[in-house]
Structure 1
């Protein structure tokens, strides 16, 4: 039997941080596979609408919903609006994150809470909002976006490293608990990916120099991450609790 070109038809995916970069690419890729898309942004509605327009051009429905995932009341409102517009959420992609560059002794409690609030607590809020509906449906997919930093460490980003390491612990906990309900939960770990990012967060980043240490000798694209997410959601039904590294061989996991 031929594989369906739109295997996610009838499913709704909510992607946090979907206004640009990897988030936008994942929205396009899941839409191309047939999913309707809830585009979550914290506040930049213009970016969100651009993502939504690209989703609609692929033949899927899209709605843009603003909300700060670090705030549980915002998340509840986001899911209420998403469900009203597109029905139950079957696929959750926890992508929202901030990555300030700060020496450890300069990180204030407010900085720490901001970074963990969006990247880790936000994933918790969204999963608690999404999973009951997945359990009821007997099918669900949760993808948590981590980063190489969470596995190898990096200077001047202790809060970010903690988020990226913690998000995979969160993945494993949910995978074990909700596997019997037909829900898979995985972590996707991007390496060096060409994106638009604030210069102050990456003051020393040189794509050319860092690529010299990558076996394939070039950065990845946002589409590399999006295609991995699509595979896990649409085809990886026997894959759960795993960290899938997409990094051109820069960081090898044993």
Structure 2
């Protein structure tokens, strides 16, 4: 367990959740995998600031291409815009099947839009975090939504990454190397990535969790900005914003 006020960057992976974490003293980051988000939070300990690549806060109705945060960050990302999935309204995310999700999304969006299969595959992970934030209101001040491509853009002087992390579903070594260069520039030892990805994760998960670790630390220091600048809240009072 980390001391109070530790930091973690988290991404979803095949095995569950992958995280890089360290204490506020700047110790060497620790890479771990947890099956459940609840267990990850418990292991990090009280007070840890957690930046996670997963939508947080679900609107009851969607106006335009996705939630406000998704619409807000796309213009910054150039060719990487396709990495920002449009997440539908809460009723669609809580649906039990893809067909039901599409039907609920059509009813709660303007213009009416169905759900992409990529977004649908995220719904169980979204609801896992959502349940924890509903259960424990204290988590809402220290679990923040980030988007790795936007995080890399913010750390790269506002320039999006020039190379994709994956090409046709396979990890792109050039894209991973470009992102490790940025992480090293911001103080992460590139040797951390020499051993590759642990079982149940891939290298894009590893670098995404790493950039979110930096975002968690920046957020705790008051150096992130919410997108949109005046975020709304969902019916449970959970903030709907991507931080970068």
Question: Which TM-score band (shorter chain)?
Answer: 0.3 to 0.5
Which structure has more relative contact order (CA 8 Å, sep 6+)? It is: 2
Instruction: Give the structure-2-normalised TM-score.
Output: 0.36
Q: 1 or 2, which has the higher helix percentage?
A: 1
Instruction: Give the structure-1-normalised TM-score.
Output: 0.35
